[in-house]
Each structure stands twice: as structure tokens, then as C-alpha cells.
Amino acid sequence: METPGDLFENIPMEMIIKIFSYLHPSDIEAASSTCLRFFEASKYYRFMDQRLLSLHKINFTEYEPPISHLLETERYFSNITLYVVRFSDYNHFWCKFGRFVKSLTLKMCIVKKDKFLQILSFLPNLETLTLYDCNELLNRWQEEIFEDMIKPSLPKLKRINFQKITILKPHVFDYLFDMAPKLEYLEISECFTDCTDAVARVKIIDHAIQSLSKKAKKGFKCLNLLGTHIDDIALLKLAEIPDLKLNQLSLTFTGRITNPGMLDLLKVQTNLTTLDLSDSMNLLDYCLMLICSKMPHLKQLKLKRCVMITDIGIREIVHLKNLLVLDITGCERISDKGFLEGVKGQKWCQWKEYLEELYIGSTNGFTEYTLSMVTSMFLYLTKLDVSSSGNCITDYTMQLINKNLLNLRFLNAECCGKISDAGICAEGFIDERCTFSYPYRISRLKGLRILRLSGIYQISDVSLRHFRFLELKELTMARCQLITEVGIEFLSKYCPSLEYIDFTECQNINDYCIELITSYLQRLLCLRVICCNQLTDLSVDSVVANCTRIKTLYIRGCNLITYEALQTLSKVSSLKNIYTNYETVDIN
């Protein structure tokens, strides 16, 4: 009998690599375990660069697993994320793999300054450095006279990301900033929110903006300040930096639009292709009109929860001829008329025909007419978010989505209570407005990878019978009370690529459902079954027996599961995070 390896033995490696280039990294990893030929193809450098090594809550020492095991492997790691990791004094890992690392992320890691700099010295090809909530490292970083003598050289470092940092001293910022002579991207997002010293916060923001003037002539293109408080004076200083021509700008504006800082910044940054002003509560229509008139090259415009925007402002996006991504989630003052005037316009040349991503969640001003026009105009949409927009998505518009948007990869319809089985799979669907007689089922959206249907209480097993998505990786159906083991059986058999499942508060989920899920879905990484009251110790036994890749398990609120059963989860070597009713569960 021929094996999969025999079938593909004569296919040129170049052809296999070409086929793999269309696959998701997790699909490539799954394929690599089927035969030696695919395993060899998965070692192609471009596929290796897509993989992520993520280590959680370990001691980073060469004498303990998993580091001791990684040192024995022949593969290399281009992207590394370390979460709550304690470092040792040994560097064998970095000596062996350091030259291959292109991206390093430290999240709440316990590391001293000397060790941190020592690690960086082994990463000559590092392109991205992310520090997430590393306050202990940055706060204890004392300024030293001869510090420059041991400064690592990172000639390829292009991105520095500071995320959720409480305090960042100017000399620390300068030290890291100067390590990247070719810096192109700087992120200071959600920082200083808990800082009680307002003077220190203003000082570091001003210092960071002043430092950008050194990089303006050297190709600096992207600035991300989302969630970090920026006043008008700082924005005015940013606007006055000569030769600063940004391609991407992200910030949360909290000041008054009458002050000159924000307006001056938007007037000079005319080369932007991406603009993200999410959560800018005081952003007015006049500001959006200025954006649309001064930034003709915009491809991505994100105005999430900019609640002051109305029809007057949104209709001006008709001038953005290159727009590909539009996010107006939570903009409740926008109605059908203003939105359609903005995306449709009066002339054919103003039609946003090639729009790829549209986010209109929590927009109660939209009706069915808006979504029906969206489905007929934007046939190239790959991502659509209509969550919590109960007025615009019904069984009728869901049928139009199934009929027209065949390129969808992401669909979020959470908390849309007007959808039922009739909209999902056309069972019993009757609507006099329909010009088509053939029922359109959700199974037509064959390329779906993420499907979110939580809170749609009318969905039952009838819909799950039509879930036949070979590429689906994430499914959320929390609070869908009509789901039973009959539907779970269809789902488990015909959606083999599922990695993330959420059945929170689905009261009919029982032990047999968990047995089906864990038996058929071999690629399962995360399972959420919070407050599923029928689950017992048998569900834990199914996880232990069948799950070899699962990393996260949520079973909080499953009161019939005992503490003794939870301790058996220690047999699942891949399991890293478990959330239960008990404060601590020993699974080590």
C-alpha cells in the first residue's frame, strides 16, 4: 500500500513549496507531519520565518526542559515570544540560535539589565524588539557613565515596541533608541496609564518626539501611540519635525479639536497610507473632512469608537479612492445615508469596489438596506464585522452574505439576535424581498477561517449540519443554547482544522460532546467550555486521552469536575494554561 510519501515522491520540491506558499503556517506544520517529503518542504526558510516559538512561565536554563530539548533540534527560530520567563546565566541557546532570530518579544519577564543586553548581543539580525509590561527591567535601569562601551550593535533593528510600560526614563529610551540606526517603526502604546507623575509622563513623551527628529531623514515611517495620552502640545511638536513623512500613524486623541496640535499634524502628514484614530472620543467631523481632503493615498482608515463622527464626516471618505480597510465600529451617530454616500458616491469612479475589510459592529444606525448594499457592492471583502448590529443583520441579509461574499475569511456576527437557522442554512427561509429562489447556505463560504456567532440564541444543530469548512480555525458559539451533541458530531467531522473553540454557557454541551471534539479535532489548541454544567470528570479524561497539542483549557464554572480529575491534566505535556474553579491546580 502506498504511503503519502510515495504519492508525492516524484513531485518537484519547487512545486510543493509553491503549493505550501498558499497555506497558513499551522496548515504547513500539520502537513509536515504526514510524510518526509512535506517535512523537508516545511524547512524552506520563508516558512521557517513564519513560525513562532512561544514559551510561557518557565526557567530559561539549558539544563531543564524545554530549553534542553530545543538545543537538540536542528530547526531554528526566527520569532520568539517569552512570557513570564526567568532567565539563567547561561547562553548556549542564544549562542546557537541567536543569529537566526528576527523578532523577540518579552512579556512580563524577570530579567536584569545586564542579562537583557547580553541576550541582545547574540542577535545581530534582530529586526523587531517588543517589551510588554517589562517595568521591573526598565525601572531599575540606572544610568551609567560607561554604559555605551557594552551597547549591543543591532544594525538591522527596524521596529521597537513599548507596550503597557508604566515608567520609561529618557536615558533608557535613548539607549534602546540609539541601538537601531535604521529604525522605521516606533510603538509606545497603552503606556503611562498608571503613572501618577504627570510631569514624568509629559517629559518622556516630549523626549520621544524630540528623538524622532534624528530618524526623520533616515527612513522613519511608522508611529504608533494608541492608548497613550498625548496632549496638543506634543502633537504640535510632532507636526513641526522637519522631513518627517509618515506612512502609518496610530494615536488616541483625547484633547480638544479646537486646539491646533491635532489639526497641524494631519495637515502635514499627507503621505499616510494607514491612519488609526481608535477611541478618539473628541474627534469631530471637521477633522475627518480634513483627513479625507489631505490624505488621498489612505488605504486603511480606522475610527473605532470615535463616537462624535456623524454622517457629515463619514460621507467625505468618498474622496479616498484607494481605501481597502474601513473600521467604524461603535460610531453610533452614523446612519445608512451618510455611510452609503461615503462608500458609494455619485459616480462609478468613487465606488469603493475593492474594499477588503469592513468593520461596522455596534452601529445601531444601520438598517438592512446598508448591509444589502454592502453585499452587492464589495464582492472582494475578506473580513466583515457586524457584531452587535442587530438592526442591519437578519436572516435576509445573512442570505445575501452567503450568496455574494464568497471571498470571506473572517465573519463576526456575535450578539445579532435576529439571525436564525433560516439565515445560516436557509432552512424554512421565506422573504418576499428575495429575487432568488435557490437557498444559499453558509457552506458556500468555503474559505472561512474565523467565524464568531456567540450570543445568537436561535442557532441550532440544523445550522451545524452545514458547517463544512476545511480551513476554519476559530469558532465561537458562546450562549448558543440549542446546540447539542448531534450538531457537535457534524462540526467535529467536517471542520478538521479547528484550533480554537468556544462553547461558553452552552447548557447542552455534555461529556460526549467533549469526547467528539477531542477525538476528531487533532489540531485543537484552545477549548472554552465555561459554565457548561453537564461536564464531569469524563470530559477531563477525554482531554487527557486525545489532546496532544492543546495549550489552553477553560473549564471554570463546570462544578461537576473534581479537583482530583484536574490533577490528571499533568499528563498533557502541551497544556500551559488552565482556568478552573480552584485557585491553584498542580499540573506540573
In this structure, which amino acid lies at residue 488?
A: I
Q: Give the pLDDT confidence score for residue 373 in this predicted structure.
A: 92
Paired residues of 160 in beta bridges? 129, 186
Task: Tell me the C-alpha distance between 144 and 33, whole Å.
Answer: 51
Q: Find where cell 529586526 sits.
A: 127
Q: Give the pLDDT confidence score for residue 587 in this predicted structure.
A: 58
Q: Is the omega angle on the peptide bond into residue 66 within 30 degrees of 0, that is, cis?
A: yes
What CA–CA distances, in Å, run from 12 to 18, 83, 104, 545? 10, 40, 35, 38
CB half-sphere exposure, 243, CA atoms < 13 A: 9
Determine the structural domain holding residue 31 and report its residue range: 1-50
> Does 14 reside within a domain?
yes
SS (H, E, C) 285-316: HHHHHHHHHHCCCCCEEECCCCCCCCHHHHHH
What CA–CA distances, in Å, run from 552 to 169, 411, 446, 526, 565? 36, 23, 27, 5, 17
Cα 27 → chain centroid: 18
Dihedral sign of CA atoms 536, 537, 542, 548 in order: positive
Q: Give the pLDDT confidence score for residue 146 in this predicted structure.
A: 43
Instruction: Tell me which H or E stretch contains 385.
Output: strand 383-385
Our count of domains for the chain comes to 1
> Does 338 reside within a domain?
no
The candidate with the shortest Cα–Cα distance to 477, out of 508, 502, 442, is 502
> Does 286 reside within a domain?
no
Paired residues of 412 in beta bridges? 385, 452
The candidate with the shortest Cα–Cα distance to 95, out of 119, 61, 60, 129, is 119
> Does 22 reside within a domain?
yes
Q: What share of the chain is helix, strand, coil (3-state, %, to 5)?
A: 35, 15, 50
Task: Tell me the C-alpha distance between 405 and 559, whole Å.
Answer: 42
- Are 288 and 315 in contact by the 8 Å Cβ rule? The answer is no
- Are 173 and 141 in contact by the 8 Å Cβ rule? The answer is no
The conformation of residue 147, written as its DSSP 8-state character, comes to: G
> Does 235 reside within a domain?
no
Q: Find where cell 518627517 sits.
A: 244
In this structure, which amino acid lies at residue 551?
A: K
Task: Tell me the C-alpha distance between 55 and 68, whole Å.
Answer: 13
Interior/surface letters 363-398, b for 16+ CB within 10 angstroms, e for the rest: bebbebebbbbbbebbeebbbbbbbbbbbbbbbbbb
Task: Tell me the C-alpha distance between 19 and 120, whole Å.
Answer: 36
User: In the structure, how many helices (H) and strands (E) does the chain have?
Assistant: 24, 22
Q: Give the pLDDT confidence score for residue 3 in this predicted structure.
A: 58
Q: Give the pLDDT confidence score for residue 5 in this predicted structure.
A: 54
- Are 82 and 107 in contact by the 8 Å Cβ rule? The answer is yes
Torsion angle, alpha carbons of 89, 94, 96, 101, to 10: 170
> Does 18 reside within a domain?
yes
Q: Give the pLDDT confidence score for residue 409 in this predicted structure.
A: 97
Q: Largest Cα–Cα distance in the chain?
A: 79
Q: Give the N- to C-terminal CA distance of the chain in Å, as an integer.
A: 42
Instruction: Tell me which H or E stretch contains 464.
Output: helix 461-464
Q: Give the pLDDT confidence score for residue 427 in this predicted structure.
A: 81
Instruction: Tell me which H or E stretch contains 107.
Output: strand 103-107
> Does 526 reside within a domain?
no
> Does 41 reside within a domain?
yes
Paired residues of 554 in beta bridges? 528, 579
CB half-sphere exposure, 349, CA atoms < 13 A: 1
Paired residues of 528 in beta bridges? 502, 554
**Per-residue model confidence as pLDDT tens for the chain (588 residues):** 555 556 677 788 999 999 999 998 889 988 888 888 898 899 898 999 998 999 988 889 888 888 999 998 888 899 999 999 998 877 789 999 999 999 999 999 988 888 999 999 999 999 999 999 998 888 878 766 445 556 788 999 999 999 999 888 888 898 899 889 899 999 999 998 877 777 878 888 899 998 888 887 788 999 999 999 888 888 999 999 988 999 999 999 876 656 677 889 999 999 999 999 999 988 899 999 999 999 999 999 999 999 999 999 999 999 998 999 999 999 999 999 999 999 887 555 556 778 999 999 999 889 999 999 999 999 999 999 999 998 899 999 999 999 999 999 999 999 999 999 999 988 877 766 766 666 789 999 999 999 999 999 999 999 999 999 999 999 999 999 999 999 999 999 999 999 999 999 999 999 999 999 999 999 999 999 999 999 999 999 999 999 999 999 999 999 999 999 999 999 998 898 899 988 655 555
CA angle 273, 275, 278 (to 5 degrees): 160
The candidate with the shortest Cα–Cα distance to 204, out of 182, 179, 222, 225, is 225
Task: Tell me the C-alpha distance between 350 and 352, whole Å.
Answer: 6
The conformation of residue 482, written as its DSSP 8-state character, comes to: B
